[in-house]
Amino acid sequence: MDPVNEFLPYAASSAVFALEPQVRKALRGRPAEFARAVGAAFAWEYSGNLTWIVEQPDASFLIAGGEYIPRARPADEAGDGEGPAPSDAGSSDGVAAAARPRRYYRRIPATLQSVVVGYLHICAPSRELASGLNSMLGCTLELVEKERQEVALLEELSASWESLDALFEWTVDMRNLPDRQEMLNRIIERAVAVRSGANAILWIEDEGMLVPAAWVCPAPPEPRPLRTGVVGRALDQKSSLILRRAGHLSSILDNEPELAAAASVVVVPISTQSQLHGALEVWMDDCEEDFESPHLRLLEALAMQAALVVENERLYAVQLESERLRQEVDIGSRIQQSLLFSRVPDRIEGASIAAVTLPSKTIDGDFYDIVDYSPSCFDVVVGDVMGKGIPAAILAAAAKSGLFRSLCQLMVDTGRREIPQADAIVTSLNAAVARQMISVDSFASLSYARFDLGQGMVTFVDAGHTKTFHLRVRDQQTFLLQGDNLPLGILQEEVYQQIAHRFEPGDIFVFYSDGITEARNPSGEFFGEYRLYECVREFASLPVEALIEKIRSTVVAFSQREIFEDDLTCVVIRIHPASPSSAEKRESRSFASDLKELSRIRQWVNDLWLRWAPRSHAEDALYQLILAVNEVASNVMRHAYRGDASQRLRITAWVEDQRFCLELAHTGIPFDPASTTPPSFDGTRDGGFGIFIIAKSVDKIVYTRNDGDWHTIRIVKSFGPGPEEASAG
């Protein structure tokens, strides 16, 4: 027989604990025939739990509760069947034996305030006696219940006051303690002070084990499995448990040696609403009186204190963890910014390139690179390593460094100063990183594209990446570039295949990570490829920086959030248009928003002018144009970008109707020329000349303030003598 169950007749919940002395008192007052009529024992099935009423050898009664299910349910046995002998163990052995010859058994509904609360199982010498017994017991129960309620209420009230008092005192006390162990020590001191001579252990749950965190008892306790014995039972029930006459129970205490000599035991679970943290176990070895309700109240209050201590510590640990995670994200995004994304090279002629990345809250393995071999030949690489966090970022960095190593190796191997083919680069890269990736169960998708502007040809290796979008501007036809190679890191000896694809001047290519197409709106819908392509089509005429900004803002507007589950990476390339009149007279270049770039901008404009100007151009007109573009760029850097040198501005220059046109595009604060004050010409102020200089130096100036974040300033200067030139003579 299960020792715990064997013991159960003596275990009681705290509620029954309060009931018991009252019942005992009430039943003791009945005539002696009552006890004899009952004979040995009967069971009362109370709301699904069995509560046993057992006659003691001293003719007093004991009520205890538990979940004992009799081996043979009395209800199954009709009429004069063999009655259960629930108390055929322990102290009531003798009485049970006395009951056996009577063999008369009845099961009668027990009512309390006209509600059936259970069934009486009665072993009695006659049917009449059993019925009489039932009504007698019914009256008794009602009486007892009322009395119990009254007493419980009173006890509750005074106990509440006491615990409230104690709680206040302890809380004040605890506030001054430095750490968790001190606090738990203080709690255990308080627990044993509840009754003199008490022992106590404060158990804290740790990975499925109960570990003693503080104790006052003769032998230091050992960690033990969570659901063991009496303590385990209280944890299962999630309620306090009082145990008495533990001296009888040595058979079940193999796992709880501290209770070997315990006469009375209280176990109070330590828990918060969300979590079970452990248990407070308090016991007395020698005592006449059991733990009473007020003691229990105080111990419950202490357990609550312990729960607060443990929960606070847990929350603190959670906070530390989230702090650590935040740092990881921070480190990850720095890895990303410095290793995984590259500057867009500005010496590529014949194509404009812009890239954007929106790092997610968890950092992905997105990466891209643009390698320029000559002004008309460059590679675009966009990749995505499976996984998240720093591991993915590091793998991505490894993939990128592997890429450059493969590139160098191939160049050395061929022995010629020839750029290796895209398929050879990707095959070599895969061979280099596959082992690493396979060993950590990861892989990477990749798009590798070699643009040859001279040939109008892109050579393309797709390693399981998102389809690359190509918009042929001439007839608005779209192409989706996709190969059927495996992603990197699946098979080390995989040979990658490239495909060749033609493009025309003015065409647009969009490379992107699945973070864009898989961005979701609040109802869970994907952004998808179609929306991306529509967006590109709609804003195809904008400068690439503005186009990519439109893509970004469209995804943000769709998903209604700024922070995404995945990184969003997008690289947009526009092949410069080549209409015969402007083919060789249009150029675009991106500059850092750094005042040190001003001299480069002046030099670039100077060179373009000298290249494009007719023979009859005026030198002063050139000075004035340079002066004007310098002032515009300097204003953008200092005011629109407020001196933030990490920003970029793009300048496009072209010739139109024998006039030199320059357009500066920026994403900073738009400029309002009306807001400036005119300069003073008497030398009393240092500043304020910029706008005046621009206006005086060029034929035309147009400020365009766009809907999005992209703003432009266009200046036009004719190659002939300027307007100021004519009047200044």
Partner 1 sequence: MALVTTNMDGVVVIEIPGPSLDASNAKDFKNEVGPFLTNEGKVIFDMQHLGFVDSSGLGSILSCLRQLNASGGDLKLCGMTKPVRALFELVRMHRIFDIYDTREQARGAFTA
Interacting residues with partner 1 (CB under 8 A): 595-596, 598-599, 602, 619-620, 623-624, 626-627, 630-631, 634, 637-638, 679, 681-687, 689-690, 692-693, 696-697, 724, 728
Query: DSSP states of 633-672 as a string?
Result: HHHIIIIISTT-TT-EEEEEEEEETTEEEEEEEESSPPP-
Pairing of strands 198-206, 209-216: antiparallel
Round to whole Å and give the CA distance between 644 and 629: 19
**Helix, strand or coil for residue 406?**
helix
Q: To the nearest whole angstrom, how small is the minimum distance from the Cβ of residue 604 to partner 1?
A: 14
**Nearest distance, CB of residue 637 and partner 1, angstroms:** 8
What is the full DSSP assignment across 555-587? HHHHHT-SS-SS-EEEEEEEEPP--TTTTTSEE
Nearer to partner 1 (CB atom), residue 221 or residue 679: 679
DSSP string, 87-125: T-SGGGHHHHHHHGGG--EEEEEEEETTEEEEEEEEE-S
**Residue 108 or 693 having the CB closest to partner 1:** 693
The CA distance from 24 to 45, in Å, is: 18
Whole-number Å distance between alpha carbons of 662 and 666: 13
Residue 610 CB, shortest distance to partner 1, in Å, is 14
What is the identity of the amino acid at 546?
A
Q: How far is the CB of 633 from partner 1 (least distance, A)?
A: 9
Q: Does residue 157 sit in helix, strand or coil?
A: helix
Q: How far is the CB of 609 from partner 1 (least distance, A)?
A: 13
Q: Rounded to the nearest whole angstrom, what is the least distance from the CB of residue 620 to partner 1 in the complex?
A: 6
Pick between residue 415 and residue 687 the one whose CB is nearest to partner 1: 687
Nearer Cβ to partner 1 (209/693): 693
Residue among 87 and 630 whose Cβ is closer to partner 1: 630
* Closest approach of partner 1 to the CB of residue 587, in Å: 21
* Calpha distance 168→182 (Å, rounded): 18
Listing DSSP states for 36-85 in one string gives: HHH-SEEEEEETTEEEEEEE-TTS-EEEEEE----SS-GGGS-TTPPPP-
Identify the CA nearest to 558 among candidates 515, 529, 527.
Answer: 527
- What's the closest the beta carbon of residue 594 comes to partner 1, in angstroms? 8
Looking at beta carbons only, is 612 or 692 nearer to partner 1?
692
Q: How far is CA 289 from the centre of its chain?
A: 52
Nearer to partner 1, 3 or 721 (CB): 721
Residue 191 or 698: which CB sits closer to partner 1?
698
CB 589 within 8 A of CB 576: no
State the Cα–Cα distance between residues 505 and 376, nearest whole angstrom. Answer: 13
Nearest approach in angstroms of CB 343 to partner 1 is 20
Shortest distance, position 692 Cβ to partner 1, whole Å:
7
Q: For partner 1, which is the closer residue by CB, 466 or 624?
A: 624
Cβ-based nearer residue to partner 1, 153 or 595? 595
For residue 342, which of 375, 366, 376 has the smallest C-alpha distance? 366
The minimum distance between CB 723 and partner 1, in angstroms, equals 11
Task: Supply the minimum distance, in Å, between the C-beta of residue 668 and partner 1.
Answer: 16
Cβ distance to partner 1 smaller for residue 51 or 697: 697
- The helix, strand and coil proportions of the chain, stated in percent and rounded to the nearest 5, come to 40, 25, 30
Contact 252, 3 (CB under 8 A): yes
- Would you say 607 or 724 has its CB closer to partner 1? 724
Report the C-alpha gap between 351 and 505 in whole angstroms: 9
Q: Taking the complex as a whole, how short is the minimal distance between the CB of residue 716 and partner 1, in angstroms?
A: 18
Instruction: State the minimum distance, in angstroms, from the CB of residue 652 to partner 1.
Output: 22
Residue in this structure with the two tokens 């080390």, named with its chain if needed: 492
Q: Which long-range contacts (CB under 8 A, 24 or more apart) does 181-185 make?
A: 181/213, 181/214, 183/305, 183/309, 184/213, 184/214, 184/306, 184/309, 185/214
**CA-based end-to-end distance of the chain:** 120
Nearer residue to partner 1 within complex by CB, 20 or 597? 597
Strands 508-512 and 468-472: antiparallel
670, 636 contact by CB (below 8 A): no
Q: How many residues does the chain have?
A: 729
Residue 24 or 600 having the CB closest to partner 1: 600
Strand partners, 279: 203, 269
Work out how close the CB of 439 gets to partner 1 at its nearest, in angstroms, rounded to a whole number. 51
Instruction: Pick the closest to residue 76 from 102, 35, 110, 107 (CA basis).
Output: 107
**CB contact at 8 A, 618 and 719:** yes
Amino acid at 407: L
Residue 192 or 625 with smaller CB distance to partner 1: 625
Based on DSSP, count helices (H) and strands (E) in the chain, helices before strands.
Answer: 17, 27
Q: Around Cβ 603, how many Cβ atoms within 10 Å? A: 11
Distance in Å, CB of 660 to partner 1, minimum: 17
| Nearest distance, CB of residue 314 and partner 1, angstroms | 55
C-beta of 373 vs 692, nearer to partner 1:
692
The DSSP 8-state label assigned to residue 337 in this structure reads I
Contact (CB, 8 A) for 122 and 106: yes
Say which residue the tokens 């259960």 belong to. 84
Which of residues 466 and 630 has its CB atom nearest to partner 1 in the complex? 630
